[in-house]
Amino acid sequence: MAGNVVGGGKVRNKQVILKDYVSGFPKESDMLITTSSVDLKLPEGSNGILVKNLYLSCDPYMRNRMAKPLRPSYVDSFQPGSPMTGFGVSEVIDSRNQNFSKGDLVWGRTGWEEYSVIDSLESLFKIQHTDLPLSYYTGILGMPGLTAYAGFYEICAPKKGETVFVSAASGAVGQLVGQFAKLMGCYVVGSAGSKEKVDLLKSKFGFDEAFNYKEEADLDAALKRYFPDGIDIYFENVGGKMLDAVLTNMRLHGRISVCGMISQYNLDHPEGVHNLFNLISKRIRIEGFLVFDYYHLYDKFLEMVIPQIKQGKIVYVEDIARGLESGPEALVGLFSGRNVGKQLIAVDPQ
């Protein structure tokens, strides 16, 4: 930290700033690396905490926050000229809040910067299990892990022997849904965007089958090939043409858990879905969800997943970019599928 000291109790604070609202595919040049300073002591009267950020999570939903707020959303847009924010793992440097102490490790919402002052502490979790990699709290033990757990178990109510399809299956959430389904005794197929990722799904995560959607001219035919008797459960991460093809291949009383629609985030005019009548004829239940609604299940989730990790029954692949300045490239890369596994940033690569 010595080389980072400004003087007077302040240190330099590298930040990733959104330059202006984004339309279409985001570019690295939409973000700017700047340096400000931060006081290492919080002022009297504060009820927040000061943290040093260790890992930052790159997540597809952040693209929506880069756009001008045109309609109500579950999360606010970033403010141009200000540091971006997202999920991260941090160490408490100073605290004016009785629930947090200096030295605590936490995960939750923080800034895309080296140091952050956090005043909204409602969804900040103390890290109790430090015998697993801290980086896991941006993924399998953090928001994506709880997302996979809630979306699969709570919404889809899986049963042994059912057929499960996962799109964007090698990503932060998809790789876990597939493994959860295999532990349930389900038949699981995933789609991904490269041969490397397809091989990973089958060899590393234990999917029964997987295919490269970019090589399939007819998604409906591809799904019929892997699910000749139809799909019981679809974990939706993609939207658009994939959702349309899935609807024609669902079984009676199938369930669709809608986690994300990454194929639509960069489109000014989202694609339409044409096969919705299947919801009626096949009595399909489709439900969107937000992980925030399931935070009360976090301890229950940890009780289930930590033993599975330690026993090697669940594995997790991370794609770690080094240094805060690598953040823009890492985030933009999500939308071309450049990452393999959970994309995150090690803020201080040392």
pLDDT in single tens digits along all 350 residues of the chain: 545 765 558 999 999 999 999 999 999 999 999 999 999 999 988 999 999 999 999 999 999 899 998 777 778 899 999 999 999 999 999 999 999 999 999 999 999 999 999 998 988 999 999 999 999 999 999 999 999 999 999 999 999 999 999 999 999 999 999 999 999 999 999 999 999 999 999 999 999 999 999 999 999 999 999 999 999 999 999 999 999 999 999 999 999 999 999 888 878 788 889 999 999 999 999 999 999 999 999 999 999 999 999 999 999 999 999 999 999 999 999 988 888 899 999 998 65
Q: CA nearest 113: which of 327, 319, 321?
A: 327
Exposed/middle/buried for residue 312 (C-beta within 10 Å: 0-12, 13-18, 19+): exposed
Question: Which pTM does this prediction carry?
Answer: 0.92
Residue 132 pLDDT: 96
End-to-end CA distance of the chain: 12
pLDDT for the residue 6: 55
Instruction: For residues 48 and 111, give the distance between their C-alpha atoms in angstroms, rounded to a whole number.
Output: 14
Cα–Cα distance, 201 to 206 (Å, whole number): 6
User: Nearest-CA neighbor of 288 among 343, 234, 232?
Assistant: 234
Give the bridge partners for 52, in sequence order: 91, 115
Q: In whole angstroms, give the CA distance from residue 6 to residue 310.
A: 43
Phi, psi for residue 22 in degrees, rounded to 5:
-110, 140
Are the C-beta atoms of 118 and 51 separated by less than 8 Å? yes
Neighbours of 287 (CB within 10 A): 13
- Please report which helix (H) or strand (E) contains residue 36, including its range: strand 31-39
